[in-house]
Structure formats: structure tokens, C-alpha cells
Amino acid sequence: MSFESGRSMAGIGSLLLVIGTFVPFLSLVGIILLLVGLRDLARYYGDNGIFDDALYAVMFGVIGIVAVGVVLIGFLLGGLFAGGSLLGITVGIFIGLVVVFIFYILMAVYFRRAFDALADKSGQGMLRTVGLLLLIGAVLTIIVIGLLLIFVAWILATVVFFSMTPKAQPQQPPPPPPPS
């Protein structure tokens, strides 16, 4: 795959993540396109760590969603069968939120690593800002302002991906003329 297709796929994926804030199904499509785009960019720059870190980030996100689902269902069903204890249901919700918070931070750490590596290879320093905003946003999800930072980070990622240009390859000086 080429630089152009990777850049476009990552940009469209980021845009769908922004729109997915309001239409959740689009987030799933967006994360897949983002991963495919980052894979292409990783191949273009010869750094598989970019894609690996992004893939780990997505895996942590999926594990977090599944784990919180299992914890919440377990405690809700347990609370219902144990007489509907409000304390049991409350504890279940709290533990579920803590689990998702931990995996959300892990996801942000790996996305930051991926964006930092891509920033080093592409020369697009703004990708470092995207990674940092994602990490700070993940930490601040406890106070809802973090979700706004994550939203802004994906908007910024969209802009950066669509404005990326291939890094110019250093030109070799012409060979000296043959001696006469």
C-alpha cells in the first residue's frame, strides 16, 4: 500500500471516530479504517511499531469493554438474585467503571506511543499533541472534561492525517564527472 492510501484511510478513520461520538456504529468502522491506515503508514516508514502499538491500543479498548460488560452483568444478576441489594449493584457499577478506566488509560498510552513514533517518522509533530491529548483525556474521564479532550484529539488527528505529505527523501548528490 502507498503513503496516500494510508494517509487517507487513517484520516477517514479519525473523522469517523469524531462522528462516531454521535453515531456509535461509525466508531467501529472508524477504528478499523484507522488501523488499516496506520498499518500502511507503518509499512511506508518501515516501522512496524506504529501499527503494533495502535493494535495493542485497540485490543485494550476491546478487553476493557468486554470486562466491564462481564463485571456489570455479574453484579447486576447477582444483586437481583440476592434480593436486589442496592449495595451489590452499586459496587458492581463502581468496579466496572474502575476496570474500564484502567483499560482506557492503557489504550491511550499505546495510542500515544503509536502517534509519537509516527510523528518521529513523518515529521508531523502535531501527532505528538494528539497522543498527549488522548492520554490526558483518558485520565480526565473521571471528571467528564476528558471526553471533550479526546473529541478534540480525534479532530486534530483528522486534520493532521489529511494534511500529511510524504517525507522528502534526501537526494544523492550527482556523481562526479569521469576524469578526462
Residue 20 confidence (pLDDT) above 80: yes
| DSSP state for residue 162 in the 8-state scheme | H
What is the model's pTM? 0.83
Give 95-110 pLDDT, tens digit per residue.
778 888 899 999 999 9
53-79 tens-digit pLDDT: 999 999 998 998 888 788 777 776 766
Query: Cα 22 to the chain's mean position, in Å?
Result: 18
Neighbouring C-beta atoms of residue 46, cutoff 10 Å: 8
Of 101, 29, 89, 30, the C-alpha closest to 64 is 101
Give per-residue pLDDT as tens, 130-178. 999 999 999 998 888 998 999 999 999 999 999 998 875 545 566 777 8
Closest by CA position to 99, among listed 55, 69, 137:
69
Is the C-alpha dihedral spanning 117, 120, 126, 129 positive or negative? Answer: positive
